[in-house]
Chain A
Amino acid sequence: MALPDDPAERLTERFAVDHIEAGIAVLEDEAGRIFELPVRLLPLGVEGGEVLLVSGHRNGRRSLLVVRPDSEERARRLARARGILERLQREDDGEDIEL
């Protein structure tokens, strides 16, 4: 979806920071696509595991974007993953395994 021209209808999208490596942030968009961006383009102090909220609109040939950490979405995603992990971990008795 293209950015709207009307600032009141600004488009928002979230990106998860998979990890940061050698000045490059590896990001995952909402469709699960992976892409890279120089970390210098992102908010100061961004770390792997953060979720970024990008909102913006278009003004003629200029796109105006704001990127900020979305701590609430981050907490929601972590809680969901932790829930699945806890269900899985319940069955493990920690013993050695023989296959």
Chain B
Amino acid sequence: MRRRTWLLLPLLLIVVLLLLYQSGSRRPFELIFLDVGQGDATFLRTPEGKTALIDGGRSGKRLLEQLDHLGVTGLDLVVATHADVDHIGGLLRAVEAYPPRFFMDNGIPHTTQAYEKLLLAVEHSGSSYLNASERTITLGDARLTVLPPPRESENQNDNSIGVLLRYRRFKALLTGDSTAKEQAWWLEHYRDDLAGVTVYKAAHHGSRTGDRESFVGALSPAMIVISVGGGNSYGHPHPEALAAYRQVGAKLYRTDQDGAVTVMIPLGGRAGYLVRTGELEPTAAVGVPAVVTALLTRLWGR
């Protein structure tokens, strides 16, 4: 009798999962760290189909290929965390191809043509410009809290926009090329909000001037993604940053080694999250095996 009960348990679990699966949204929440070489580009899509692109890497061609592959048909929000070309170089073509409803940047002018052309494209696209002030952007069921730059100088990296993403119990933090100076300022003002993020995008491609153990430790992320190009000229990621990431015990992903990193949250977050690396896939319902994997991951640790 006891043996039969044990045999029925997995069956019961599957039935419960299927019921949850049917009752919940079939489209997962997706947070995708695109593989744009040396640079940053992060795409997110909510179960309601709302989309945001945070930075666009250096190449518009490379960015658009990936957005096309993901079946993107429009962008609700584009954020340029700061004006360095490895973050905005690809955005010009993205804004032209998918004029976003809203566009945000750090409001610090730059002297490159890449920057001026991007602003002109935003103006011509009819997008509404958003200042990087302390504000919340609700994107379907997700909330993006803007961590404003301190603006104590005109330095682009020191004034990267921070984006804290919340979707149910999941939190992700993206901070462009923020430096230790800006991070210390954010900790002073937003420490409680920043504690316990699920996913952290390494600042400044894991450079020596970016993440310190004090900041990463305060975030205590379960997972860190370094958006970096293989064999880059700058020595990213730096061993000191890697040591800080190891110190917090986070699972580490690198776009130069893993390709694009996709974080999927099925079932409205009831089954934790899943990570897929490599090839991008157009949005699709998450299969039951993947849901079971996510659930098991949630039950048996990070």
- Cβ contact of A24, chosen from B115, B128, B154, B234, cutoff 8 A: B234
Q: How far is the CB of A74 from chain B (nearest CB, A)?
A: 6
A61 is an interface residue with CB less than 8 A from chain B = no
Instruction: Tell me which residues across on chain A come within 8 A of B156, comparing CB atoms.
Output: 19, 48-49
Contact B131 A89 (CB under 8 A): yes
Q: How far is the CB of B49 from chain A (nearest CB, A)?
A: 11
A85 is an interface residue with CB less than 8 A from chain B = yes
A18 is an interface residue with CB less than 8 A from chain B = yes
Tell me the bound Cα distance from A20 to B133 in angstroms.
27
- Cβ contact of A96, chosen from B113, B119, B138, B235, cutoff 8 A: B138
Contact A99 B76 (CB under 8 A): yes
Instruction: Tell me which residues across on chain A come within 8 A of B122, comparing CB atoms.
Output: 88
Instruction: Tell me which residues across on chain B come within 8 A of A80, comparing CB atoms.
Output: 116
- Cβ contact of B138, chosen from A26, A74, A88, A98, cutoff 8 A: A98
> Which bracket fits the contact residues of B?
35 or more
Contact (A81, B136) CB under 8 Å given A19-B84, A34-B89:
no
Tell me the bound Cα distance from A88 to B51 in angstroms.
22
Contact B113 A21 (CB under 8 A): no
Interface code A23-58, partner B: CB below 8 Å = 1, 0 otherwise?
010101010101010000000000011110000000
B202 is an interface residue with CB less than 8 A from chain A = no
Contact B111 A78 (CB under 8 A): yes
Residues of A participating in the B interface, judged by any CB pair closer than 8 Å: 16-19, 21-22, 24, 26, 28, 30, 32, 34, 36, 48-51, 74, 77-78, 80-82, 84-85, 87-89, 91-92, 94-99
Tell me the bound Cα distance from A42 to B114 in angstroms.
22
Contact B130 A28 (CB under 8 A): no
Contact (A32, B114) CB under 8 Å given A26-B85, A99-B138:
yes
Q: Tally of A-B residue pairs with Cβ under 8 A? A: 109
B207 is an interface residue with CB less than 8 A from chain A = yes
Nearest 5 Cβ contacts at the A-B interface: A81-B109, A88-B129, A22-B234, A77-B111, A84-B119
Instruction: Tell me which residues across on chain B come within 8 A of A88, comparing CB atoms.
Output: 103, 119, 122-123, 129
Instruction: Tell me which residues across on chain A come within 8 A of B157, comparing CB atoms.
Output: 19
Instruction: Tell me which residues across on chain B come within 8 A of A99, comparing CB atoms.
Output: 50, 76-77, 101-102, 137-140
Instruction: Tell me which residues across on chain A come within 8 A of B103, comparing CB atoms.
Output: 88
Tell me the bound Cα distance from A84 to B115 in angstroms.
11
Contact B107 A85 (CB under 8 A): yes
Tell me the bound Cα distance from A77 to B130 in angstroms.
22
Tell me the bound Cα distance from A29 to B131 in angstroms.
29
Given known contacts A22-B235, A26-B84, A88-B119, what 13 new A-B pairs fall within 8 Å (CB)? Answer: A22-B207, A22-B236, A24-B234, A32-B113, A34-B58, A49-B156, A84-B119, A84-B123, A87-B123, A97-B130, A97-B135, A98-B137, A99-B138
30 residue pairs from A and B, CB less than 8 Å apart: A17-B111, A18-B85, A18-B114, A21-B207, A21-B234, A22-B235, A26-B84, A28-B85, A28-B114, A30-B113, A34-B58, A34-B89, A51-B111, A81-B109, A81-B115, A81-B116, A88-B129, A89-B107, A89-B129, A89-B131, A91-B128, A92-B129, A94-B131, A94-B135, A96-B135, A97-B102, A98-B137, A99-B137, A99-B138, A99-B139
Q: How far is the CB of A55 from chain B (nearest CB, A)?
A: 19
Chain B, Cβ-Cβ closest to A88: B129
- Cβ contact of B131, chosen from A16, A22, A51, A92, cutoff 8 A: A92
Contact B123 A49 (CB under 8 A): no
Tell me the bound Cα distance from A30 to B135 in angstroms.
37
